[in-house]
A and B are shown apart, each in its own frame.
Chain A
Amino acid sequence: MDFVTYWNSLTWEKAFRIYWYFFIFELTRFVTLEYVVLWRWKYRRRRDRDKYQEATFRLFQEAPFVSIIVPGKNEGKHIYKLAKSLQNQTYRNFELIVIDDGSDDETEKICNTLSKNGFIDLFIRNYVRGGKASGANLAFRYSKGDIVVHLDADCSYSNDAIEKILVPFYFEPNIGAVGGNVQVRNESESLATSLQSIEYQNVIGSGRVVTSELGIYRIVSGAFGAFRRDILDRLGGWDIGPGLDGDITVKIRKLGYQVRFAPDALCVTSVPNTFRKLAKQRRRWDKSLIRFRVRKHKDVFVPNKAFQIPLFLSFVENVTFNLILNVKWYLYIVDMMINFSNMLGTIILMNLILYTLANYFKLIFFAPFRTSFRESWLGQVIYVPLSAIYTGYFLRIVRTYAYIAELLFKSSYKDPWNPGKTSFYAKARRI
């Protein structure tokens, strides 16, 4: 009853004073701007249909040799399924290289068997774990392809995924890398996976279409990314992670190459099925923003000879909407607590309603722009209200924790995701 009274008493001025954060940042950036850009992308896509077909034709005519590399630890159980799905690809001129980064399960046995039976072209086992970057680099060292496609073993790929991720190299000049569209496989497994599924659709399905269209696309996903061999040669492959996907994307852009997102190049992956596991994964991802954007590649902000506006904007957008606004959100809460303390509960509820409405808008109106395995988005309708809590509170708190841990303690260098022997040097060299 109080809330109805409050709603009726709300004027535009008052609403803007209290919910400025939503109107200025969330509604403008993630709804309005994205919606406009998506229409532009749709228009250009329709306009360039013939050009896209021509690029596809050229791809098959030239048929560049592609090296599909799959580094990983204890991933043996996924490899057969992956190799089988690759055998059904529309683009077939590729080799499959699997690197076992010091697995302690049956991976070696499984991969040796698959290798003998022709499912894998090259299998190399490192008896000592060296980390994701060294695994990828070893595969790259022995690859022969003109284009290198980096995959995660636990992903599944649509039959034309390899073709679709290669076409952009023939569609536009100066493309250095192309990222694939990673979606959630296990969305119905738990509440955590359902919420991540909505998030992936927004952040990757449509969000990366937008950033790619704006020229500020910043992460070619390690789960599905294609790279030109000559560029990887110049870079010497991947650097130590975590966050090596974003790092190499930045390095490619620094060399002056374009990076594109291929929404039709679909793959699905299994995401963490509990909030605890999810928090752990996101802490690792979020720390990399500080480590790579703020520290390692801070030169992007410096207006020197190598200064690039799109790269600068990409960093600004990334840092602003993740780091600065994260801080700003806490300031906003403090502001509300000081100035509107008697209505704090109502304001939080109102915020949730606004975010939920925005999310429903995106679910419905962004649907025509999404490319997905999913037949219908209707199943997600019931999760949308929770999605506001998930992104607005859960992810924000995790992110805050990660930023603080990284800014104050450089905790990413202690992350067991990477072997200590490599993190030690990464920290010493500030990379």
Chain B
Amino acid sequence: MNVKLKKPAETGLKSDKVWCHHELRFYLWDNLDPIDVFNLSDYDAVIISSQNVDLIKEKVKRFRSWSSSEIHLKPLFIIGSGSLINDPMVKGLVDGSLVSESHIDGIADVVRRIHSRKMKLDARLPSTFEGQLVNKLLGFAYTRSLEEINPVLNKESITGYVYPMLSINFLREEEGTQYQILNLMEEEGLLDGSFQDRVYICPSCSSGFLNYREVCSKCSSTHLHADDVVHHFPCAYIGPMKDFDSDGSGDLQCPKCDKLLHHIGVDYDKPSVVHTCQSCGQIQQNTPVHASCYSCETTVPTEQLQPTEIKSYTITKKGLHVAMNGYSNSEIDTDVVHGAVDLTTFSTILNMEVERASLLGSAKSCLGIINLHNVNQVYNQLGENGAYKLMTELVELVKSSAGRADMICFERAENLLLLQNEISLQEALNTLRSLKLLFNRLFEDRFPNGGVEIDTRSQLLTGGKNAQWHLNELHNAN
């Protein structure tokens, strides 16, 4: 047991909120703490301290839905009563709980294990939202050694089921999208699904909160009255129950022969049920069932509801590979783009450059990135050959603005890396700024409806850190 307080000056945070245990630093995130989530990236783990379940939920959701893997993959615990994590959603998102500060030793190994696995991950951020979610889900499962991603029944979910690490990234009304992501991952062989349940969701808003009602086949009114049909054997009169109980006394008397009905099955029976619409008077027996959505108020016949299979997923080998190496939803092989080097070569040269910078001390080199958001739509439009031509053209544009010795690499089809030697950060940023203008002009002129958005970043190389570290830093920089 080795808990000590961190000095306030080192974090700028209140010292009683930071617990140290050996090399690990834990941040105690309590009820009234106004800290921004991104400030928690400096700590090895976060412990939520609250007795308010709703507040815990909110904090957990905010934490895990954060875009940077430095936050959303960070170990997260709850301190206090174990009952606080009975909520299945919270349970799926935290790494455990501890009763008091003295139990911190019990979670230290968990933190170390998560960090150790996290280091093996590719921290690059895919340009598409879907790609980011795929990475997030696989990364979370990998760092927690989860073999399965299981659905959790949740009455607060719009569809009735949640996959905690995925669902928290959506607004409640957009939760239906989680199934599209999971289907995509299954189609791409990252996950292997096994059937658990089937839910029917609103085709308009994907909500599973539906009110099923029998409606009139003619006017769709729900104001229906069901009546047993009574058959009086002796005289063959047959009609709704109300015909036989016209005075409401409960005694059944045949309107045709005036005889009292005695025993069902002996002198009368009830061979069917008939519904009468109280709005339009339509008589019917097979009333259609419509589902009315509580969320968007759309009403549709049940046949038009969208059946959605709820599955448990196991992560495939391919999924594990993607978890560690990052996900790209483009099938383009970026290693063969003319004028650019492949990622392995680029990483090797980057490592050498870092080493050179460390040795020389004064050497300045910058690593930059140009993200091409939504560029996959343009690639799809162009086809494979057209996409390669465009990528080659982009490389030529970069070459025209960069130095002759600078290295260019398509990390993925959606981003370009640029290693610029002997250059200040400001100069590097200027180069990227002018490239952004050129790229924007190119895409606006040729693909005005493509929706491609460009953003750039650059950073100075830091001695003692490897290529992977630099790439992670570049991706995680806001």
Do A130 and B236 have beta carbons less than 8 Å apart? Answer: yes
The answer for the CA separation of A127 and B217 in the assembled complex, in Å, is 21
Q: Which of B217, B234, B236, B272 contacts A124 (CB 8 A)?
A: B272
Do A123 and B236 have beta carbons less than 8 Å apart? Answer: no
Per-residue CB proximity of A380-393 to B under 8 Å, as 1/0?
Answer: 00000000000000
Per-residue CB proximity of A109-140 to B under 8 Å, as 1/0?
Answer: 00010011000001111111111011001100
The answer for the CA separation of A110 and B271 in the assembled complex, in Å, is 19
Question: Which residue on chain A has the smallest CB distance to residue B270?
Answer: A128
Question: Which residue on chain B has the smallest CB distance to residue A136?
Answer: B236
Question: Is A141's CB within 8 Å of the partner chain B?
Answer: yes
Question: Is B37's CB within 8 Å of the partner chain A?
Answer: no
Do A422 and B236 have beta carbons less than 8 Å apart? Answer: yes
Q: B210-267: which have CB < 8 Å to A?
A: 217, 229, 231, 233-240, 243, 255-257, 267
A133-B234 CB under 8 A given contacts A123-B285, A124-B272, A236-B256: no
Find chain B residues with CB under 8 A from A127 CB. 271-272
Question: Which residue on chain B has the smallest CB distance to residue A116?
Answer: B217
- In this complex, how many residues of chain A approach chain B with their Cβ under 8 Å: the count is 32
Q: Which of A137, A142, A238, A424 contacts B274 (CB 8 A)?
A: A142
Question: Is B67's CB within 8 Å of the partner chain A?
Answer: no
Do A138 and B235 have beta carbons less than 8 Å apart? Answer: no
Per-residue CB proximity of A86-105 to B under 8 Å, as 1/0?
Answer: 00000000000000001000
Question: Is B286's CB within 8 Å of the partner chain A?
Answer: yes
Question: Is A305's CB within 8 Å of the partner chain B?
Answer: no
Do A237 and B236 have beta carbons less than 8 Å apart? Answer: yes
Do A138 and B267 have beta carbons less than 8 Å apart? Answer: no
Do B285 and A137 have beta carbons less than 8 Å apart? Answer: no
Find chain A residues with CB under 8 A from B284 CB. 122
Find chain A residues with CB under 8 A from B240 CB. 141
Q: B155-200: which have CB < 8 Å to A?
A: none
Can you identify 14 A-B contacts, CB atoms within 8 angstroms? A124-B272, A127-B271, A130-B271, A131-B236, A133-B236, A138-B238, A141-B240, A236-B235, A236-B255, A238-B236, A239-B236, A422-B236, A425-B234, A428-B234
Question: Is A240's CB within 8 Å of the partner chain B?
Answer: yes
Q: B267-312: which have CB < 8 Å to A?
A: 267, 269, 271-272, 274, 283-286
Do A425 and B229 have beta carbons less than 8 Å apart? Answer: no
A112-B234 CB under 8 A given contacts A127-B272, A237-B256: no
Find chain A residues with CB under 8 A from B231 CB. 126, 128, 130, 134, 138
Per-residue CB proximity of A259-279 to B under 8 Å, as 1/0?
Answer: 000000000000000000000
Question: Which residue on chain B has the smallest CB distance to residue A425?
Answer: B234
Do A128 and B271 have beta carbons less than 8 Å apart? Answer: yes
Q: Enumerate chain A interface residues (CB-CB to B < 8 A).
A: 102, 112, 115-116, 122-131, 133-134, 137-138, 141-142, 236-240, 421-422, 424-426, 428-429
Do A425 and B238 have beta carbons less than 8 Å apart? Answer: no
A237-B285 CB under 8 A given contacts A124-B272, A124-B274, A126-B271: no
Known: A130-B236, A239-B236. 4 other contacts (CB 8 A): A102-B271, A134-B236, A428-B234, A429-B234
Do A236 and B257 have beta carbons less than 8 Å apart? Answer: yes
Do A137 and B237 have beta carbons less than 8 Å apart? Answer: yes
Do A137 and B271 have beta carbons less than 8 Å apart? Answer: no
Do A240 and B236 have beta carbons less than 8 Å apart? Answer: yes
Do B256 and A138 have beta carbons less than 8 Å apart? Answer: no
The answer for the CA separation of A9 and B272 in the assembled complex, in Å, is 72
The answer for the CA separation of A264 and B283 in the assembled complex, in Å, is 34
Do A142 and B271 have beta carbons less than 8 Å apart? Answer: no
Find chain B residues with CB under 8 A from A236 CB. 235, 237, 255-257
Q: For the complex formed, measure the closest distance between the CB of B304 and the CB atoms of chain A, giving whole angstroms.
A: 15
Per-residue CB proximity of B101-132 to A under 8 Å, as 1/0?
Answer: 00000000000000000000000000000000
Q: For the complex formed, measure the closest distance between the CB of A139 and the CB atoms of chain B, giving whole angstroms.
A: 9
Do B229 and A126 have beta carbons less than 8 Å apart? Answer: yes
Q: What 9 pairs between A and B have smallest CB-CB spacing?
A: A236-B256, A425-B234, A126-B271, A133-B236, A128-B271, A141-B239, A138-B238, A134-B238, A130-B231
Find chain B residues with CB under 8 A from A422 CB. 233-234, 236
Q: For the complex formed, measure the closest distance between the CB of A173 and the CB atoms of chain B, giving whole angstroms.
A: 28
Question: Which residue on chain A has the smallest CB distance to residue B256?
Answer: A236
Do B272 and A126 have beta carbons less than 8 Å apart? Answer: yes
Q: For the complex formed, measure the closest distance between the CB of B367 and the CB atoms of chain A, giving whole angstroms.
A: 67
Question: Which residue on chain B has the smallest CB distance to residue A423?
Answer: B233
The answer for the CA separation of A96 and B379 in the assembled complex, in Å, is 60
Do A112 and B283 have beta carbons less than 8 Å apart? Answer: no
Do B236 and A137 have beta carbons less than 8 Å apart? Answer: yes
Find chain B residues with CB under 8 A from A137 CB. 236-239
Find chain A residues with CB under 8 A from B267 CB. 425
A138-B269 CB under 8 A given contacts A236-B257, A239-B235, A429-B234: no
Q: For the complex formed, measure the closest distance between the CB of B234 and the CB atoms of chain A, giving whole angstroms.
A: 4
Q: For the complex formed, measure the closest distance between the CB of B256 and the CB atoms of chain A, giving whole angstroms.
A: 3
Question: Which residue on chain A has the smallest CB distance to residue B234?
Answer: A425
Q: For the complex formed, measure the closest distance between the CB of B346 and the CB atoms of chain A, giving whole angstroms.
A: 65
The answer for the CA separation of A287 and B363 in the assembled complex, in Å, is 119
Q: Which of A130, A421, A428 contacts B238 (CB 8 A)?
A: A130
Question: Which residue on chain B has the smallest CB distance to residue A236?
Answer: B256
Q: For the complex formed, measure the closest distance between the CB of B310 and the CB atoms of chain A, giving whole angstroms.
A: 31
Q: Which of B229, B233, B243, B269 has the most CB of A within 10 A?
A: B233
Question: Which residue on chain A has the smallest CB distance to residue B255?
Answer: A236
The answer for the CA separation of A102 and B274 in the assembled complex, in Å, is 15
Question: Which residue on chain A has the smallest CB distance to residue B276?
Answer: A142
Find chain B residues with CB under 8 A from A426 CB. 234
Find chain B residues with CB under 8 A from A133 CB. 236
Question: Which residue on chain B has the smallest CB distance to residue A418?
Answer: B236
The answer for the CA separation of A116 and B256 in the assembled complex, in Å, is 33
Do A141 and B238 have beta carbons less than 8 Å apart? Answer: yes
Find chain B residues with CB under 8 A from A112 CB. 286
Find chain B residues with CB under 8 A from A421 CB. 233, 269
Q: Which of A112, A127, A138 has the most CB of B within 10 A?
A: A138
Do A128 and B239 have beta carbons less than 8 Å apart? Answer: no
